[in-house]
Amino acid sequence: MKSALVVWGGWDGHEPKQCVDVFVPFLRESGYQVEVADTLDAYLNSERMRSLSLIVPVWTMGTIAREQEHGLLEAVASGVGIAGWHGGMGDSFRDNTEYQFMVGGQWVAHPGGVIDYEVNITKPEDPIVAGISDFKMHSEQYYMHVDPSNEVLATTTFGGEHAPWIEGAVMPVVWKRMWGQGRVFYTSLGHVACDFDVPEVRTIVQRGMLWASR
């Protein structure tokens, strides 16, 4: 049986527990044995970590101990998949550049706060976004530092209303990559749980988790 570890915590503003409750039922319905933990010490059991199919981190900001980070990164490098979204994976452990290297990016800013913007599918032949057309969001639009080696599946373009110097900047929103032998899926969509009420967003995350799984 496929197995998944979901680890949640950190800043409550990103609604980590509510987001966990969105996707754990999907994983179970998809045949995963799911363990949910609310401590980063879950990453310390190296034997258990290496046996997993998928890790879903749902932890905003905070700090991660060297041993905890090592356990997570080593598991992914060994072939365990990892998948997540902004509020749980791309705005975490701001002092840990090796973790950010694995993710493929790090949140920097959300000019204007909650605004209307568009997500554009850039690789429609990829199974994660296949059949999904460009769609609208009403949420935070994330400016990120991103790894140029990411395989980008969707982007967004910034206007100049809130930060004129980035007008026209095209920013990745959905990507996949490798970390050692492990597949990494990330989307900057997912500020709070209601963002997953947008059907396109929920589908992209669900497909991303399935793709990332060993």
Looking at the structure of the chain, the number of domains it has is: 1
Three-class SS of the chain: CEEEEEEEEECHHHCHHHHHHHHHHHHHHCCEEEEEECCHHHHHCHHHHHCCCEEEEEEEECCCCHHHHHHHHHHHHHCCEEEEEHHHHHCECCCCHHHHHHHCEEEEECCCCEEEEEEEECCCCCCCCCCCCCEEEEEECCEEEECCCCEEEEEEECCCCCCHHHCCCEEEEEEEEEECCEEEEEECCCCCHHHHHCHHHHHHHHHHHHHHCC
| pLDDT computed for residue 196 by the predictor | 98
**pLDDT by 10s per residue, the chain, length 214:** 999 999 999 999 999 999 999 999 999 999 999 999 999 999 999 999 999 999 999 999 999 999 999 999 999 999 999 999 998 999 999 999 999 999 999 999 999 999 999 999 999 999 999 999 999 999 999 999 999 999 999 999 999 999 999 999 999 999 999 999 999 999 999 999 999 999 999 999 999 999 999 9
| pLDDT computed for residue 37 by the predictor | 98
Give the range of the structural domain holding residue 178, as residue numbers without chain letter.
2-212
User: What CATH number does residue 171 fall under?
Assistant: 3.40.50.880
